[in-house]
Amino acid sequence: MTKKEYPRIGETVFYETLENGLRVAIVKKPGFRKKMAFLSAAFGSADIRFTYKGEKYEMPAGTAHFLEHKMFERESGEDALAILSKRGATANAFTSTDMTAFHFDCTKHFYENLETLIDFVMHPAFTDESIEKEKPIIAQEIVMGEDDPDNALYYNLLRCLFRRHPIRDAVVGTVKSIENITAEKLMLCHEAFYVPGNMQLVLCGDLDEREAIKKVTELMTAPRGFAPERAYPKESEKPVKEEKTAVMDVAAPIFLAGAKTEPGLTGSRAIRHELTAALSLSILMGEASPLYSRLYSEGVINETFGYDFESANGVSFISFGGETDESDRVISDVMREAKILSENGLDRDFFERRKRSVIGDELRGLSSFDSICYNVACAMSEGYDYFDLVPVLSGITEKEVRDFLAKYVTPGRFAVSTVRGREDE
């Protein structure tokens, strides 16, 4: 077991990799009554094409999410969520493009709940009959998502940016695609991806690290296994389509502009790229930036305006948007401001203030068990140390920010998704 202390942020973490390959992190929280367990598999909605035991497979869109729904079933007929709830635990699960995670928090019966968690995740008990019963439930979830303007805005942007990468498809799949999901396909995906060598377990709370590792070793007895070879299509630097507009019931027009950034980064390079993006976007268009202040004071944007950076499955992209009648102007002003900053340089005091602000944003996440567990699990899966983010961010230079803006925030790299109201037709 490896102990790492992070005095700048007041955290102590114990790391261990079990003989079967499961990566475990124990985040110590002395004095806290609440404890949390977060078990994740590096298997998400984008993992639909893979090679396993020499055979190539292509799964229907939405398979990982469908499997997540069915994992709580027990052979006894009782739902695992109900079992955890009876012991006072709050449990849930989610699927993203590159991860499926199951978690709970509680103040009592922690190791009993951990045993239940590991048992139902590692030993699924769904049947053909239960799969068919689940399809209309998930279909309803899909239809509701399709009627959501924010959901349409986001996925239309991804379909403009990416030609074939499965990140462009909704995590839940489509009503048509889930009809092709069977118990046999779900079991194959579980056998292939839900193996200790492709999983992470994060425990957070006032725990004895030796006792915790002993318990986990006793409970996680599955053989190592190796994740299948995944296949993601290569994408061009520029978007495949410049814009897409949807007409829906919205109070005001909304837009989301996005551009692809550096693909294929892993480990320390990936986290530095992400933090450079966060700092660059904060300087360019954060609430304290001159650009934001000007556009807001003129009524061009409002409090819905924001920006983001995302990376998964070998691709990454930045985006910004919100409600406005003047999306073309906002995009033009963002490009112009990025050019000025990249060519003329940054105000030193403002640069340092923004850096401290972004560090503060990251540190605020350390007050949430959910945020800690999620980010530590992601970091372990991607091969970097989440708690190194403060020194990494502190070391980002003005040149890195200027280079980021010059390379990625430029005309020609961006696609635009817009949702207009029906009355604007």
Angstrom distances, CA of residue 276 to CA of 53, 57, 186: 39, 37, 38
- Residue 293 sits at the vertex; the CA angle it makes with 291 and 295, to the nearest 5 degrees, is 70
68 catalytic, yes or no? yes
Helices assigned H by DSSP within 289-368: 290-297, 327-344, 348-364
Sign for the CA dihedral angle at 71, 74, 77, 83 comes to: negative
- List the catalytic residue out of 19, 68, 78, 235: 68
User: 10 Å Cβ neighbour count for 74?
Assistant: 17
Please name which of 179, 274, 258, 255 lies closest in space to residue 419, comparing C-alpha atoms: 255
Query: How far apart (Å, rounded) are the C-alpha atoms in residues 149 and 418?
Result: 10
CB 407 within 8 A of CB 235: no
d(CA 152, CA 241): 16
SS3 242: coil
CA distance 412 to 166: 23
The set of catalytic residues is 68
